[in-house]
Amino acid sequence: MTISAASVRAKSLQNTGSYGFAAGILLFIILLCALAAPVSAVLEIIPAESYAESAQSGNGYLTAADVEYYLSNANSTITLFYSSTCGACHKAMPYIDEARAKYPNVRFNYFDNMGSPSNLSLMNRFSERYGVSYPSYPVVFAGDITVLQGFNRISGNIDAVAGAMNAGLIPDAAYEKRHFSADAAGNLTSGPTGVTGITYAAVILAGLLDGINPCAFAVLIFLLIALTTAESKRRVLEIGLTYTLGVFLIYITAGVGIIKIVALTGLSSYFTLIAGVLVIAAGIIEFA
């Protein structure tokens, strides 16, 4: 059988266009995974058994009595909420463990919110008690008003907080306000306090710095690679529209907080797994 050069050329264009369209779909999935999955998706997962008191802290199902117990003893303990798929938690944990070892008389409670609605509910109760509008991982509650959110706040203050509690200086709202004010813990509260000192120049500069980042350039490189494989204007348009739609949907989704909700409910790991399966399936279908 003789195959004409025109037929071979048409088949090549069809396959190339198919590759380009598949690349556009993969770009959308990559963007979705990058924003929805926690940064530690590429890091070592924190093993729960590495923390001696995790089992004592009710990382299983918490009853109403358990919740009331932890809340009633909140000011005399140091309570940590984290996620086993959280990069910042992974970095902050050694500082917390060091403080716990240094002050054995201070009670530390660990709660892994990953896949635990009851732990997440308890964190929300703690947040209400301490006046935290938008808690994020990792977060430490101690004393009457002390709240430490994020790696920097925890790594820089956890030893001092534990030491003060060990010395009997905590709980004491006045002392805590001077040294570990909850208002300085990065809480997002209503009113003008949170925007004091922010200028238009600072906002513009922050926007420029955020717009010029390696992640964006990496995604654009993927887009350019996909476009170079498309030899027809139609395929170029398909890839470009797919990329544009993907970016639009991701930023809209992030803006309304759906991705944040997914992360807080402990579903981010399942979402990452599903996205990975879709990528592998797309590759198998494309090259089969």
Report how far residue 282's alpha carbon sits from residue 27's, in angstroms, rounded to the nearest whole number.
Answer: 12
What local confidence, expressed as pLDDT, does residue 81 receive? 95
pLDDT band at 108 (very low <50, low <70, confident <90, very high): very high
Residues 55 and 92 in one domain: yes
Query: Is the pLDDT score of 54 beyond 50?
Result: no
Residues 117 and 219 in one domain: no
Report how far residue 226's alpha carbon sits from residue 229's, in angstroms, rounded to the nearest whole number.
Answer: 5
Residue 22's identity, in one-letter code, is A
In a domain, 41, yes or no: no
The distance from CA 228 to its chain's CA centroid, rounded to whole angstroms, is: 34
Written as six digits, the tokens of 154 are: 């925890």
Written as six digits, the tokens of 176 are: 């805590």
Residues 99 and 229 in one domain: no
**CATH code where residue 182 lies:** 3.40.30.10
What local confidence, expressed as pLDDT, does residue 246 receive? 78
- Mean pLDDT on 269-288: 69
No. of helices (H) and no. of strands (E), the chain: 11, 4
Which region among 66-80, 101-115, 157-171, 215-229 has the lowest average model confidence (pLDDT)?
Answer: 215-229
Written as six digits, the tokens of 250 are: 């991701």
* Beta strands in 150-284, from DSSP E residues, in sequence order: none
Task: Please give the residue range of the domain that contains residue 172.
Answer: 48-195
Give the 3-state secondary structure of residue 77: coil
pLDDT band at 128 (very low <50, low <70, confident <90, very high): very high
Residues 141 and 180 in one domain: yes
Give the 3-state secondary structure of residue 112: strand
In a domain, 42, yes or no: no
E strand or H helix at 132: none
Instruction: State the distance between the two ends of the chain, measured CA to CA, in whole angstroms.
Output: 24
Highest mean pLDDT: which of 24-28, 36-40, 116-120, 157-161? 157-161
Residues 175 and 279 in one domain: no
Report how far residue 94's alpha carbon sits from residue 50's, in angstroms, rounded to the nearest whole number.
Answer: 11
In a domain, 143, yes or no: yes
Q: Quick check: 99 and 162 in contact, CB under 8 A?
A: yes
Residues 180 and 217 in one domain: no
In a domain, 268, yes or no: yes
Report how far residue 92's alpha carbon sits from residue 72's, in angstroms, rounded to the nearest whole number.
Answer: 26
Tell me how many domains the chain contains.
2
In a domain, 27, yes or no: yes
Q: Which of 195, 223, 242 is the last residue of a domain?
A: 195
Residues 60 and 179 in one domain: yes
Q: Which of 175, 195, 215 is the last residue of a domain?
A: 195
Report how far residue 2's alpha carbon sits from residue 141's, in angstroms, rounded to the nearest whole number.
Answer: 77
Closest-CA residue to 6 (of 233, 229, 14): 14
Report how far residue 163's alpha carbon sits from residue 165's, in angstroms, rounded to the nearest whole number.
Answer: 5
Residues 214 and 99 in one domain: no
Q: Quick check: 53 and 288 in contact, CB under 8 A?
A: no
pTM score > 0.75 for this model?
no
Q: Which of 195, 214, 235 is the last residue of a domain?
A: 195
Residues 85 and 180 in one domain: yes
Report how far residue 235's alpha carbon sits from residue 184's, in angstroms, rounded to the nearest whole number.
Answer: 52
Query: Is the pLDDT score of 93 beyond 80?
Result: yes
